[in-house]
Amino acid sequence: MDSYNHFKAEDFLENPSFRAWVYGKSSPAETDYWNQFLREYPQAEEAILEAKELLLTLVEPEVILSEEYIRERSRRILEHTKPLPIKRSFWRWGGSMAAVLVLAAGLGGWLIWKNQATLHQLPVSQSKSLIKDSKHWDEVINESQQSRLVLLPDGSSVVLQAQSQIAFPRKFEADKREVVLMGEAFFEIRKNPKQPFFVEANEVITRVTGTSFTIRAFEAADQVKVTVKTGTVAVFKKAQQEVSAQLVRPNQQATFERQNQKLSVSGSPLPELTVLEKEPFTFVRTPISKVFQILEKNYGVKIKYDSELMRHCTLSAELGDKPVLEKLTLICAGIESTYEYQNGEVTIHSKGCH
C-alpha cells in the first residue's frame, strides 16, 4: 500500500489511479487496490470521502488536462486558499471544492462574504420563541409570504418557508449541531461526520451528517413530515433514544402522527414535491444566466451581474446538495469570478468569459 501518513484529501486528488477509481474508469486491479485500501486504512475514510465528493462535483472530468497540470494546480491552489476570518469551517469546504473546478477552468476566484447580521433583525412574532438560550442563540421568524434564505454558523443553508421560524446557536458545539424548527424548511447541510446535525421539530428529532431534506412541522398541524432529497436521514421521537430511529432515504418520507404518536416511513410515489425538492442542480455547458435564474428561483435570493459581459459564460458542474454558498463558490471558481453576499442579495464580479 502507498503511504498516506496524514490522509489529506489533496493526496488522493493528485493520484491518477484514485481519480480513475472515482470516475469508474479503473482497471479491475486498481478497483481491488482501493477497496482493499479502505479496509486496511479506515482512518482514511473521511479524507477519501472528501476527495471523492470534490471530484464528483465535476460533470465532465475529461476536461481536466495533463497529470502534471493537475498536480501543479492542485498543490498551488490548496496551498494558497487560506481560511477567511469569518466562517472558517465553511471556507475549508468551499475552498477545497473550488480548487477542483479551478483545475478544469484554469483559474479561480475569491469569496467575499459580507456580514448577514441584519438577517436576524426580524419583527417579533406572536408565536412562542424557540430560543433555548437568548444569550447564545439567534432566531429567524419569516412572517412574509415568501421563502427566506437562512445561513447557519457552519455554512449550511436553510430555505425557511412562509410563517415559519428557526432557532440556532451562534456557534455550534464541537460534537454536534442542533437547531429548532417550527413550520417548514428545506435544509442543505454541510457534511461533517464528526459533528452530526439535529433538527428538533415538535415531538420529532431528525439527525443527519450532511444531506438535503425538508421538514414540515407547523404547531397546529396533526403531522410532522420529513422528506429526503439526498442522503440518509434518521428520524425518531424526542421522547425516545436515537437507537429507535427510522432511516429515511431519497424519495422517501417519514410521517409522525401527533395524536397517536406513530412514526412511519413511506416510499415513492411521494406527494407532489416542491421545485426545490426536485431541482438536481446539475449543469452541462449551461449558460450562466440560466444557472443564476435557477438559484434565484430556488433560494429566493437576488443575483446581480453584468449579463452582457458574461454572455459567453457557461457552467458544467454537479452541485447537488451543497449549501448555497458552496454552490456559489464553485460556480464562481468555474467562471473565473468572485461574489459578495449580503442580506439575501448576491453580487457577481467578473471579467467575462471567452
pLDDT tens per residue across span 281-294: 988 889 999 999 99
N- to C-terminal Cα distance for the chain?
A: 44
pLDDT tens per residue across span 93-124: 334 444 444 444 433 334 444 444 333 434 44
Residue 188 has pLDDT above 90, yes or no: yes
pLDDT tens per residue across span 190-240: 988 889 999 999 999 999 988 999 999 999 999 999 999 998 999 999 887
Set out the domains of the chain in order of their start, with CATH numbers: 1-56 (no CATH), 117-275 (2.60.120.1440)
Residue 341 has pLDDT above 70, yes or no: yes
The pLDDT of residue 171: 92
The Cβ of residue 173 has, within 10 Å, a number of other Cβ atoms equal to 9
The pLDDT of residue 98: 41
Q: Using pLDDT thresholds of 50, 70 and 90, give the confidence band for residue 19.
A: confident
Round the average pLDDT of the chain to a whole number and report it: 78
Please write down the long-range contacts of 261-268, taking CB distance under 8 Å and 24 or more positions apart: 261/203, 261/237, 263/204, 263/235, 263/236, 263/237, 265/235
Residue 126 has pLDDT above 50, yes or no: no
Per-residue cell: 18: 484514485
pLDDT tens per residue across span 240-290: 777 778 999 988 999 999 999 999 998 766 767 788 888 999 888 899 999
Q: Using pLDDT thresholds of 50, 70 and 90, give the confidence band for residue 51.
A: confident
pLDDT tens per residue across span 70-85: 555 455 444 433 333 3
The pLDDT of residue 294: 94
pTM over 0.85: no
Q: What is the mean pLDDT of residues 58-78?
A: 48
Q: Which is higher by pLDDT, 320 or 205?
A: 205
